[in-house]
Chains A and B, each alone.
Chain A
Amino acid sequence: MIHLSAITRTFHMGDQVVNALSDINLHIASGEYVSIMGPSGSGKSTLLNIIGLLDRPDSGRYELDDRLITDLPETEQAQIRREKIGFVFQSFHLIPRLTAAENIELPLVLSGIPPEQRQIRVNDALQAFELKQRASHRPAELSGGQRQRVAIARATIMRPSVILADEPTGNLDHQIGAEVMALLENLHHGGTTLIVVTHDRELGARAHRQIAMRDGKILTDQTDDAG
């Protein structure tokens, strides 16, 4: 479903040129569980952002579900983000003045789904992520694990086909991180494509396919036969 060919992304910092991604070729099939690892600055986040349509490559082709994405206008890219892609970030990125339920509801609001339906779906999500008691709490009143659960609930409320997680456990302790990973893997078992960027070898090893990056290039790309 995800098809990247000859993707490059270059940043210019003054006279310095940073090749964040150079000539990336990558194919990820629907329902895969992929981890991306590599040292800091190797281009993992940049790759994820391009897959998630938050960033545009300088050159190369990107096809998502057999549709050439690279040159789509902004509004259509936004629609694809809304409907097909769920983002989970290291720093949760919850809106502080909204309650847990309202944060989860946000993508539904952006899609113009009527309030009654939103209510039902948010309630289901709160139930599924064990956040029922925290529904009307603001992010500041939640623990890190709860915040990430809210973020995952928000990322999945539109039932996207791909979940992109950029170091989802980076701000959580080991135990809670493992719980959050279990939640994400659960989504994968439900059929969602899961792409996780992580520094944690142990977590990365849980993915069926492990991609290692360095200096904007894919170093290795291994798929476990088992799983």
Chain B
Amino acid sequence: MTLVDTLQTSFKTVVSYRVRSLLIILAMALGVAAVVVLTALGDGARQYVINQFSSIGTNLLVVLPGRAETSGSFLGAVLGQTPRDLTLKDAQLLGRLPQVRRYAPLNVGAAELSGANRLREVTVLGSNADLIPIRHMKLAQGGFLAHGTERNAQIVLGAKIANEFFPRSQAIGQRVRLGDSRFIVSGVLAAQGESMGFNTDEIVIIPIDYAQAMFNTTSLFRILIEAKSHNVIEPAKQAILAALKQSHDGEEDITVITQDAILATFDRILHTMTLAVAGIAAISLIVAGILVMNVMLVAVNQRTAEIGLLKAIGATSRDIRRLFFAEAVWLSFAGAILGFLLGQSGSLMLRLAYPQLPAWAPAWASIAGILVALITGVLACLWPASQAARLDAVKALSKR
């Protein structure tokens, strides 16, 4: 029996047992679709988090006061020590490090913004001109502390605030009052929406000196650092730790977080999660494989007389084994393809429903899903097919 004839004959068999075949194909397809959709979801979530995290800056390092280790802060708490504050001086010191492209000191607080007969509370960021490029913020209009205006009382408004206060007129050049101080609007941020739980549309940015005066503090909340290149992130971190240790009388009382490390951690965690989810989905494929085995065993039993007849008209055991085998291959193949298509359309619907989520199944997951379906289908058939091939022709024929 030729391969083409074997495939054709078994294809006809698959088609003629329509309901049975559809059920198996569906079971296989759902398994494959589950792998595709769940990995699309997992990988989409990973991409989403990474995109969000990448969008907050490039080669970013964040310096914050205090040691991150619990033991250190615990000891500090016991000894009644509080970590030394970060100061503007520290920030300027870091700005001079060779690995650092630019830096932005940061203070955060809240104050009342008034002007144009309106009043509302806003989140206030105090920083320097470099905050805008370091944090990948974009100005829709104007500027912030452009060269020669570093000491001016300038304020940048978030897109939503600018729109609330000056819906009809040009915001740039308008006078507003923040807390007890007067500012001139020098720029408006482009609308960006929420990113990492922080909505830049509803903040205002003022120079760091004004912020420290307004909040009556000399310490900084954070220092944002942009390293010169991806390669010097780690050297920059070491240099920052060394420089601040020296200026803090030999005490390592700060923490440096690199965006890179956080990204890598998230990437790892979410990738592992995607793998785990794919594995769980693949179990449903094994279940489908067991279903195929069961159905093929029933088929062998049902078609005993037919197998006897095939032997009587000259089929070899090999022919019969191949016929059943081909049947299982068709079923798993159809199931795998259908499942792939189902999974892809499921991912498409996810993307349509959640446009921010890049829910694309990774290629490895689709390929693995299809392969696992084919392999389980084929493995599940080995035993039933050999049962069929081993049947005694005379006994098989006498079975009604």
Q: Is the CB of B313 within 8 A of A82?
A: yes
Task: Return chain A residues, CB-CB under 8 Å to B306.
Answer: 93, 95
User: Does A58 reach chain B (CB closer than 8 Å)?
Assistant: no
Task: Return chain B residues, CB-CB under 8 Å to A154.
Answer: 313
Query: Would you give the 0/1 interface string for B347-383, flagging 1 where the beta carbon is closer than 8 Å to chain A?
Result: 0000000000000000000000000000000000000
User: Does A59 reach chain B (CB closer than 8 Å)?
Assistant: no
User: Does B272 reach chain A (CB closer than 8 Å)?
Assistant: no
Task: Return chain B residues, CB-CB under 8 Å to A176.
Answer: none
- Given A54-B393, A91-B400, A93-B397: A110 and B1 interface contact (C-beta under 8 Å): yes
Task: Return chain B residues, CB-CB under 8 Å to A54.
Answer: 311-312, 393-394, 397
Partner of A109, one of B1, B16, B17: B1
Write the nearest CB–CB distance from A122 to chain B, whole angstroms.
14
Q: Is the CB of B313 within 8 A of A81?
A: yes
Q: How far apart are the CA atoms of A106 and B400 in the complex, in Å?
A: 21
Q: Which residues of chain A (163-206) have a CB below 8 Å from chain B? A: none
Q: Is the CB of A112 within 8 A of B313?
A: no
Q: How far apart are the CA atoms of A98 and B15 in the complex, in Å?
A: 11
Task: Return chain A residues, CB-CB under 8 Å to B1.
Answer: 109-112
Task: Return chain B residues, CB-CB under 8 Å to A71.
Answer: none
Interface centre among B12, B309, B317 (most CB of A within 10 A): B309
Q: How far apart are the CA atoms of A158 and B13 in the complex, in Å?
A: 23
User: Does A141 reach chain B (CB closer than 8 Å)?
Assistant: no
User: Does B92 reach chain A (CB closer than 8 Å)?
Assistant: no
Q: How far apart are the CA atoms of A111 and B313 in the complex, in Å?
A: 10
Write the nearest CB–CB distance from B312 to chain A, whole angstroms.
5
Write the nearest CB–CB distance from B304 to chain A, whole angstroms.
11
Q: How far apart are the CA atoms of A192 and B154 in the complex, in Å?
A: 111
Q: How far apart are the CA atoms of A109 and B8 in the complex, in Å?
A: 10
Query: Would you give the 0/1 interface string for B304-331, flagging 1 where the beta carbon is closer than 8 Å to chain A?
Result: 0110111111111111000000000000
User: Does B2 reach chain A (CB closer than 8 Å)?
Assistant: yes
Q: How far apart are the CA atoms of A95 and B303 in the complex, in Å?
A: 9
User: Does B5 reach chain A (CB closer than 8 Å)?
Assistant: yes
Q: Is the CB of B314 within 8 A of A110?
A: yes
Q: How far apart are the CA atoms of A81 and B313 in the complex, in Å?
A: 6
User: Does B9 reach chain A (CB closer than 8 Å)?
Assistant: yes
Q: How far apart are the CA atoms of A106 and B320 in the complex, in Å?
A: 13
Q: Which residues of chain B (1-54) have a CB below 8 Å from chain A? A: 1-2, 5, 9, 12-13, 16-17
Write the nearest CB–CB distance from B17 to chain A, whole angstroms.
8
Write the nearest CB–CB distance from B308 to chain A, whole angstroms.
8
Q: How far apart are the CA atoms of A87 and B308 in the complex, in Å?
A: 12
Q: Is the CB of B397 within 8 A of A110?
A: no
Task: Return chain A residues, CB-CB under 8 Å to B9.
Answer: 109
Interface centre among A54, A55, A78, A155 (most CB of B within 10 A): A78
Q: How far apart are the CA atoms of A41 and B314 in the complex, in Å?
A: 26
Q: Across the two chains, which residue of chain A brings its CB closest to B389? A: A74
Q: Is the CB of B397 within 8 A of A112?
A: no
Q: How far apart are the CA atoms of A152 and B318 in the complex, in Å?
A: 25
Task: Return chain B residues, CB-CB under 8 Å to A49.
Answer: 393-394
Q: Is the CB of B312 within 8 A of A81?
A: yes
Q: Is the CB of A111 within 8 A of B397?
A: no
- Given A93-B309, A97-B16, A109-B1: A55 and B394 interface contact (C-beta under 8 Å): yes
- Given A81-B313, A107-B314, A110-B314: A93 and B305 interface contact (C-beta under 8 Å): yes
Q: Is the CB of A110 within 8 A of B394?
A: no
Partner of A79, one of B17, B314, B393: B314
User: Does A83 reach chain B (CB closer than 8 Å)?
Assistant: yes
Write the nearest CB–CB distance from B330 to chain A, whole angstroms.
15
User: Does A33 reach chain B (CB closer than 8 Å)?
Assistant: no
Q: How far apart are the CA atoms of A52 and B309 in the complex, in Å?
A: 12
Task: Return chain A residues, CB-CB under 8 Å to B305.
Answer: 93
Q: Across the two chains, which residue of chain B brings its CB closest to A155? A: B313
User: Does A89 reach chain B (CB closer than 8 Å)?
Assistant: yes
Q: How far apart are the CA atoms of A134 and B317 in the complex, in Å?
A: 31
Q: Is the CB of A97 within 8 A of B13?
A: yes
Task: Return chain A residues, CB-CB under 8 Å to B16.
Answer: 97
User: Does A75 reach chain B (CB closer than 8 Å)?
Assistant: yes
Write the nearest CB–CB distance from A44 to chain B, whole angstroms.
13
Write the nearest CB–CB distance from B6 to chain A, whole angstroms.
9
Q: How far apart are the CA atoms of A89 and B317 in the complex, in Å?
A: 21
Q: Across the two chains, which residue of chain B brings its CB closest to A164? A: B312
Partner of A81, one of B5, B314, B317: B314
Q: Which residues of chain A (61-119) have a CB below 8 Å from chain B? A: 74-75, 78-79, 81-83, 85, 87, 89, 91, 93, 95, 97-98, 106-107, 109-112
Q: A75-B318, A97-B17 are in contact. List 17 more A-B contacts (CB 8 A).
A: A52-B312, A54-B397, A55-B394, A75-B317, A78-B314, A78-B316, A78-B319, A79-B314, A81-B314, A93-B305, A97-B12, A97-B16, A106-B310, A109-B1, A110-B319, A154-B313, A155-B313
- A-B pairs, 4 with minimum CB distance: A82-B314, A97-B16, A78-B316, A81-B314
A-B residue pairs in contact (CB < 8 Å), sample of 29: A49-B393, A54-B311, A54-B393, A54-B394, A54-B397, A55-B393, A74-B317, A75-B318, A78-B314, A79-B316, A81-B311, A81-B312, A81-B314, A82-B314, A83-B314, A85-B314, A93-B305, A93-B306, A93-B308, A93-B312, A95-B309, A97-B13, A97-B16, A97-B17, A98-B12, A110-B313, A112-B1, A155-B313, A158-B314
